[in-house]
Structure 1
Amino acid sequence: MKADIHPNYRPVVFKDTSSDFAFLCRSTASSKETITWEDGNEYPLIKLDVSSKSHPFFTGKQSMADTTGKIDKFRQRYGISK
């Protein structure tokens, strides 16, 4: 194997800001922010907007849009017939 061509994997904490859920895993992502984890060690912190704890698909709070009503309103507004 060639030396110095592989990325530097290290433990990083990813935190979902919308659900206050955090997890520790290995990553090459870098950050200037740090956080003290449950084991007492300090790790780089990467903030996320969405994770499996806040995404509607995983939480089961997915809402279906009423597309038929919107289509009918659009057709009425612009005089488009079917």
Structure 2
Amino acid sequence: MPKSDIHPQWFPKAPVLCDGKPICYIGSTKPELRVDVWLANHPFYSDSQTLVDTEGRVERFMKKYGLDSNEQ
């Protein structure tokens, strides 16, 4: 006899949210899913590739190799 009440609750239409806006609905064990990046705002697919600087690492790299950060 299988145990009862061991499986998590299933939400058949859980919204996937990006910036507070629903993107799509999927089945999940969580009532809602929050994402930072998805297809429409991903730099690779939106042709807006920008450098994400964490603690000045990009500037140090550019300075070390004598590169201009505006070059493509």
Q: TM-score, normalised by structure 2?
A: 0.49
| Bigger RCO of structures 1 and 2 (CA < 8 A, at least 6 apart) | 1
